[in-house]
Chains A and B, each alone.
Chain A
């Protein structure tokens, strides 16, 4: 039992540590053993425009996509979890559908859709930050809906009813009673949305344009031509950003309770 756990942990963590380790190697070509250790690859990565811009684009994209999908997803989840109406299941399936469709397919479909809009309106949307943000909102939305509906279903309906009977208007009841109970779910949903958007490769492939390349795509592009510890440094930064998000989130919102 413990042995299995150890093996699983090693399988999960070893590649992460390997990447982080390599990023400090003082070798031009990744090879063992390292000649020495250096921080130069981090400096180099930041000095390369494609990585810096990619990082900033991905960061912006993750934040925008998370905000948009929170704005759409939280109210939608409230209705899905609390309302009883015709077609509820259908709406839920549609909101969760982006989870099922392979990213590359969805990306291609979205690309064609945006091109059609361009043809119809004459406004460029494909290969813009806006189009990319739309795509990433779609990636993020199912996570918000999933986690927020789950926490709403976990939050006893009777809490709201008790508040209503005690004299709270529906909005007050939601804000004072439901919101504090589902907040971990919302934060967890938001965090996952951000991470999923931040690391997305497939869906973005068709949609990035000049000046709006995301970090994962910048990494892939770079890897096609060269392999040196710069890439490890970039990847390590990516891992650190995600890990920091998870740790901070858990510290303040007890994410573990959202599952």
Chain B
């Protein structure tokens, strides 16, 4: 296992730049997720690291080794494809042994390592089966075993869970994470699923249009998105567009005045974002006290209510037409009936929960 360094990695297809000057250092044993919508360049980056796509510019290092111009078979990477790409005519054990054979590892030693890694993924009892005789989850584990048996410098995973159903995906995800940290595998995991990235990775690389938008821990990415793209792509977000006003800090285009920071506003802020779970809805007080006098409290009308199991989602709107989404945990069984469409409420959120752009 080694540290992986990408230096200004670029891929051009004719006039299109699929990957644009991506630089990144991945520590030994680190679990990195490349997250982004399809076409953002995450898979191309992965393929360049594997050597299946040649870089147009920039460099790739495995440790101190410059592998940029090496063909895939001289790089020593492990790759799990989205569709697994198991060899249909070979048994599970033969599939796993393939990489060892190519490395001319002695047969008995090879067999020992194959059984060892199959035991690790709990498939040692199915060593003689053909891939088509296995379930999706089992095939996925064969693909993983096949990629790690020859101790690659880096393990590359291209949406490896997307072919599994939701429940299995969850299981395999934790299994993968457990195995990765046990073996100390330097791992790059490509996904478009933010939940997957948030729950599995040490650090997330959010990509868009071939460029890195932000690199950070899952917490960083979710709580402190640096760009509007990241805030929009990772989790659900309410955006309020406006400008910095003189005394009242932030003026939304609809006229709402918001406090966005305890120590005043910086200039140049054009939008703020608030996560739906930060917005609290309460009924308007009968005393008629002006809700707008509180920091970040807006008078709203409930437009839509959607029950979503663990939480309820409310779409609310201010008089000026500003629409917000608020989440409320469905934890309190004793609570009276939830707000209904048409109800008049007050939406408020803590100043510290405001993300500014």
Q: What residues of chain A have their CB less than 8 Å away from a CB belonging to chain B?
A: 156, 158-159, 161-169, 172, 176-177, 180-181
Does B102 sit at the interface, judged by CB under 8 A? Answer: yes
Give chain A residues whose Cβ lies under 8 Å from the Cβ of B239. Answer: none
Does B34 sit at the interface, judged by CB under 8 A? Answer: no
Contact of B99 (CB < 8 Å), options: A156, A161, A167: A167
Cross-chain contact B102 with A166 (CB below 8 angstroms): yes
The residues in B between 96 and 150 inclusive whose CB is less than 8 angstroms from any CB of A are 98-99, 102-103, 146-147, 150
Give chain A residues whose Cβ lies under 8 Å from the Cβ of B229. Answer: none
A159 to B83 Cα, complex, angstroms: 10
A sample of 13 inter-chain contacts (CB < 8 A) reads A156-B83, A158-B83, A159-B85, A161-B52, A164-B51, A164-B73, A165-B51, A165-B52, A165-B73, A166-B99, A166-B147, A168-B102, A169-B73
Cross-chain contact B83 with A172 (CB below 8 angstroms): no
Does B76 sit at the interface, judged by CB under 8 A? Answer: yes
Known: A156-B85, A165-B77, A166-B102. 8 other contacts (CB 8 A): A161-B79, A162-B81, A162-B87, A164-B52, A164-B71, A165-B79, A169-B73, A172-B102
CB distance from A187 to the nearest CB of B (A): 14
Number of interface residues of B (CB under 8 A): 24
Which 10 residue pairs are nearest across A and B when measured between Cβ atoms? Answer: A167-B102, A166-B99, A158-B85, A162-B85, A164-B72, A180-B89, A165-B79, A165-B72, A167-B73, A158-B81
For B89, the closest partner residue in chain A by CB is: A180
Cross-chain contact B89 with A167 (CB below 8 angstroms): no
CB-defined interface of B48-59 with A at 8 Å, one 1/0 digit per residue? 001110000000
Give chain A residues whose Cβ lies under 8 Å from the Cβ of B29. Answer: none
A209 to B83 Cα, complex, angstroms: 56
Cross-chain contact A165 with B98 (CB below 8 angstroms): no
CB distance from B313 to the nearest CB of A (A): 39
Chain B binding site: helix, strand, loop or mixed by DSSP?
Answer: loop
Give chain B residues whose Cβ lies under 8 Å from the Cβ of A167. Answer: 73, 76, 99, 102-103, 150
For B83, the closest partner residue in chain A by CB is: A158
For A167, the closest partner residue in chain B by CB is: B102
For B82, the closest partner residue in chain A by CB is: A158
Cross-chain contact A165 with B83 (CB below 8 angstroms): no
Give chain A residues whose Cβ lies under 8 Å from the Cβ of B75. Answer: 165
CB distance from B53 to the nearest CB of A (A): 10
Does B88 sit at the interface, judged by CB under 8 A? Answer: yes
Does B41 sit at the interface, judged by CB under 8 A? Answer: no
Inter-chain CB contacts under 8 Å: number: 59
Give chain A residues whose Cβ lies under 8 Å from the Cβ of B89. Answer: 180-181
Cross-chain contact B88 with A165 (CB below 8 angstroms): no
Give chain A residues whose Cβ lies under 8 Å from the Cβ of B77. Answer: 165
Cross-chain contact B88 with A161 (CB below 8 angstroms): no
Q: What residues of chain B have their CB less than 8 Å away from a CB belonging to chain A?
A: 50-52, 71-73, 75-79, 81, 83, 85, 87-89, 98-99, 102-103, 146-147, 150
Give chain B residues whose Cβ lies under 8 Å from the Cβ of A159. Answer: 85, 87-88
CB distance from B143 to the nearest CB of A (A): 8
For B96, the closest partner residue in chain A by CB is: A166
Known: A158-B85, A181-B89. A165 touches B78 (CB 8 A): yes
Cross-chain contact B73 with A168 (CB below 8 angstroms): yes
CB distance from B112 to the nearest CB of A (A): 18
Cross-chain contact A166 with B146 (CB below 8 angstroms): yes
Give chain B residues whose Cβ lies under 8 Å from the Cβ of A161. Answer: 50, 52, 72, 79, 81, 85
CB distance from B241 to the nearest CB of A (A): 44
Give chain B residues whose Cβ lies under 8 Å from the Cβ of A156. Answer: 83, 85
For B103, the closest partner residue in chain A by CB is: A167
Give chain A residues whose Cβ lies under 8 Å from the Cβ of B76. Answer: 167
CB distance from B177 to the nearest CB of A (A): 22
Known: A162-B79, A166-B99, A167-B103. A181 touches B88 (CB 8 A): yes
Give chain B residues whose Cβ lies under 8 Å from the Cβ of A165. Answer: 50-52, 72-73, 75, 77-79
For B50, the closest partner residue in chain A by CB is: A165
CB distance from B71 to the nearest CB of A (A): 7
A161 to B158 Cα, complex, angstroms: 13
For A156, the closest partner residue in chain B by CB is: B85
CB distance from B166 to the nearest CB of A (A): 24
Give the residue among A162, A177, A181 with the most B Cβ atoms within 10 A.
A162
For A160, the closest partner residue in chain B by CB is: B85
Give chain B residues whose Cβ lies under 8 Å from the Cβ of A172. Answer: 102
For A158, the closest partner residue in chain B by CB is: B85
A50 to B328 Cα, complex, angstroms: 93
CB distance from B352 to the nearest CB of A (A): 46
Give the residue among A156, A167, A176 with the most B Cβ atoms within 10 A.
A167
A104 to B72 Cα, complex, angstroms: 50
Give chain A residues whose Cβ lies under 8 Å from the Cβ of B87. Answer: 159, 162-163, 177
